[in-house]
């Protein structure tokens, strides 16, 4: 019996040694990230909902798809009976109603068609090479944008708010936008004044996205 106990003890010692070795290796390789994770567990600085609203959903999507971009967006399927023109009109109408400015559109698929088709070859021509529909819509609330940048210059990378209307390879249309939860909940809690503004922008963009997908304005 004592022999079995000794074997178990030595196995545990070996496992412990291996764990310590890899822990130290990770600490060195990733410049202290292990210590930072441990510190975060002991004395959290991130938003208390960061794991539930940002990092676990992101990790699940990443593991399911292998696509980090899919893990950072929100998409809404466009109803089959809603035309692209209906989507655009609905989104612009809601944006106007909500007081957020439309600051530009990028008709990317149309631009590529112009660049790749010979002069005089237009839609309806037998040799016309069509692209999957892709158009980017950009919106901004200038005062809110500046307030966010005053808090962190890095917020400028999120500006302006963008929505993309895209036709996938199966012909289904979607409206994509960045998941603002990463900005709102992914780091330390935002000051109350900034949190209120960020949540309001998220509400407006979500309404524009949903309204566009349903052609509802």
Name, in order, each residue with C-beta under 8 angstroms of 60's C-beta and a sequence gap of 6 or more.
none
**pTM value > 0.85:** no
Which of residues 1 and 185 earns the better pLDDT score?
185
Q: What is the CA radius of gyration of the chain?
A: 25
Stronger pLDDT, 45 or 166, i.e. the higher one: 166
Tokens at residue 170, please? 């199966």
- Count the Cβ atoms, other than its own, within 10 Å of residue 41: 8
- One DSSP character per residue, 110-124 reads HHHHHHHSPTT--TT
Question: Tens of pLDDT along 134-158?
Answer: 999 999 999 999 999 999 999 999 8
Count Cα neighbours of 75 within 13 Å in the Cβ-side half-sphere: 19
Predicted pLDDT of residue 119: 85
Tell me the C-alpha distance between 130 and 124, whole Å: 10
The predicted-structure confidence for 19-66, as pLDDT tens digits, reads as follows: 544 454 545 555 555 545 545 454 468 898 988 999 899 999 999 999
- Give CA–CA dist 169/132, Å, rounded: 8
Residue 104, φ and ψ in degrees, nearest 5:
150, 155
Angstrom distance (rounded) from CA 33 to CA 11: 28
């Amino acid at each position: 019996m004592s022999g079995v106990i000794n074997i178990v003890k030595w196995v545990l010692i070996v496992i412990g040694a291996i764990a310590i070795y890899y822990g130290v290796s990770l600490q060195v390789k990733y410049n202290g990230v292990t210590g930072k994770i441990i510190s975060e567990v002991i004395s959290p600085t991130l938003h208390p909902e960061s794991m539930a609203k940002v990092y676990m959903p992101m990790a699940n999507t990443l593991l399911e798809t292998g696509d980090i971009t899919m893990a950072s967006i929100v998409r809404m399927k466009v109803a089959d009976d809603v035309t692209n023109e209906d989507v655009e009109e609905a989104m612009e109408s809601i944006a106007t109603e909500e007081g957020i400015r439309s600051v530009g559109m990028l008709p990317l698929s149309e631009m590529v068609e112009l660049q790749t088709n010979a002069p005089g070859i237009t839609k309806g021509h037998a040799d016309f090479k069509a692209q999957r529909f892709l158009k980017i819509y950009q919106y901004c609330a200038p005062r809110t944008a500046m307030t966010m940048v005053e808090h962190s210059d890095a917020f400028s990378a999120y500006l302006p708010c963008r929505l993309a209307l895209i036709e996938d390879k199966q012909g289904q249309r979607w409206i994509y936008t960045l998941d603002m939860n990463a900005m709102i909940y992914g780091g330390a809690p935002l000051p109350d004044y900034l949190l209120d503004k960020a949540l309001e922008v998220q509400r407006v963009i979500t309404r524009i996205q949903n309204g566009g997908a349903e052609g509802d304005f």
